[in-house]
């Protein structure tokens, strides 16, 4: 160990959440909170400026870039800080894009303080920490890859859950309607259902999507 503190950038659009994370982390003698970001774009800028070792990244920021997009932008740079996602969401629709974007770890906001501190240290060391619910879901995907929805299938089903028609999904994702139908056919087969309503219900029960 170098004896230098782990420098942390907190990225969350809620001031109360940022204050809470700061209060918890500042009790650790080997941590230093060096910056806060209220938007994903600001987090990317601050991370690029240097001076941080770990970014605590929320996933939802309202308008603009989301946390997964910010994670991809941050980790694409050489010598980038590690990104530890800290969020309330644990569905496949949230976890998979974040992990694919390069997040080193994924933790839920209800994690106890000692677990958060341990995850920061693990991320700073370049190792992975996953919330138990997320780890379980990823393991299940590995055990039964034939039943796991792809990222695009998850996106399509999430829009079905929002009430969009095939035409609306086609416009939103810039896909042909035939492609949307094909994705839905694969979703039905994997989930063992035969309707949009049943697919949404099954996916919600499995934690694949969220309302």
Q: Which helix (H) or strand (E) holds 18?
A: helix 15-25
Residue 86: pLDDT over 90: yes
pLDDT for 143: 65
- Who wins on pLDDT, 140 or 48? 48
If asked whether residues 111 and 155 sit together in one domain, one would say: no
Residue 185: pLDDT over 90: yes
Q: What is the mean pLDDT of residues 26-44?
A: 96
Cα separation, 108 vs 85, whole angstroms: 8
Q: What is the mean pLDDT of residues 30-42?
A: 97
The CATH number covering residue 113 comes to: 3.40.50.2300
Residue that the structure tokens 């949009």 belong to: 196
Mean confidence (pLDDT) of the chain: 90
Residue 145: pLDDT over 70: no
- Who wins on pLDDT, 148 or 27? 27
Q: What is the mean pLDDT of residues 148-174?
A: 92
The distance from CA 64 to its chain's CA centroid, rounded to whole angstroms, is 16
pLDDT for 93: 78
If asked whether residues 134 and 158 sit together in one domain, one would say: no
Cα separation, 31 vs 25, whole angstroms: 7
Q: In Å, what is the CA distance from 97 to each residue of 29, 94, 112, 193?
A: 33, 6, 25, 25
Cα separation, 184 vs 59, whole angstroms: 26
The residue among 140, 157, 189 that closes a domain is 140
Strand partners, 82: 54
pLDDT for 1: 45
End-to-end Cα spacing for the chain: 44
Q: How many domains does the chain have?
A: 2
Any idea which of 1-5, 63-67, 200-204 has the lowest mean pLDDT?
Answer: 1-5
Confirm if 84 and 43 have CB atoms less than 8 A apart.
no
pLDDT band with cut points at 50, 70 and 90 for residue 58: very high
Please report the DSSP string for 139-162 in residue order: HHHHH-GGGSPPHHHHHHHHHHHT
Cα separation, 146 vs 152, whole angstroms: 15
If asked whether residues 110 and 182 sit together in one domain, one would say: no
If asked whether residues 116 and 198 sit together in one domain, one would say: no
Residue 40: pLDDT over 50: yes
Residue 188 covered by a domain: yes
Q: What is the pTM of this model?
A: 0.73
If asked whether residues 76 and 155 sit together in one domain, one would say: no
Percentage with pLDDT > 90 across the chain = 71
pLDDT band with cut points at 50, 70 and 90 for residue 147: low
If asked whether residues 130 and 152 sit together in one domain, one would say: no
Burial (CB count <10 Å: 0-12, 13-18, 19+), residue 83: buried
* pLDDT one-digit tens code per residue, 93-126: 788 889 889 999 999 999 999 999 999 999 999 9
Q: Which domain holds residue 169?
A: 145-206
Residue 19 covered by a domain: yes
Residue 1 covered by a domain: no
If asked whether residues 153 and 132 sit together in one domain, one would say: no
Any idea which of 20-34, 83-97, 142-156 has the lowest mean pLDDT?
Answer: 142-156
Cα separation, 134 vs 183, whole angstroms: 24
Sign (positive/negative) of CA torsion 184, 190, 196, 201? negative
Cα separation, 141 vs 147, whole angstroms: 7
If asked whether residues 77 and 12 sit together in one domain, one would say: yes
């Amino acid at each position: 160990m170098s004896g230098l503190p782990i420098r942390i950038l907190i990225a969350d659009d809620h001031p109360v959440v940022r204050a809470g994370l700061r209060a918890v982390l500042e009790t650790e003698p080997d941590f230093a909170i060096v910056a806060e970001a209220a938007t994903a774009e600001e987090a990317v800028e601050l991370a690029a400026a240097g001076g941080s070792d770990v970014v605590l990244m929320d996933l939802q920021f309202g308008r603009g870039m989301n946390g997964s997009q910010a994670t991809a932008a941050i980790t694409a740079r050489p010598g980038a800080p590690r990104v530890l996602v800290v969020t309330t969401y644990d569905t496949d629709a949230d976890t998979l894009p974040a992990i694919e974007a390069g997040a080193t770890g994924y933790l839920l906001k209800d994690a106890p303080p000692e677990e958060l501190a341990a995850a920061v240290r693990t991320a700073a060391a370049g190792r992975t920490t996953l919330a138990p619910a997320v780890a379980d879901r990823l393991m299940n995907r590995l055990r039964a890859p034939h039943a796991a929805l792809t990222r695009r299938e998850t996106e399509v089903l999430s829009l079905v859950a929002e009430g969009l028609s095939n035409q609306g999904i086609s416009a939103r994702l810039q896909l042909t309607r035939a492609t949307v139908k094909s994705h839905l056919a694969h979703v039905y087969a994997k989930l063992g259902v035969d309707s949009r309503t049943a697919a949404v219900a099954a996916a919600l029960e499995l934690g694949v999507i969220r309302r």
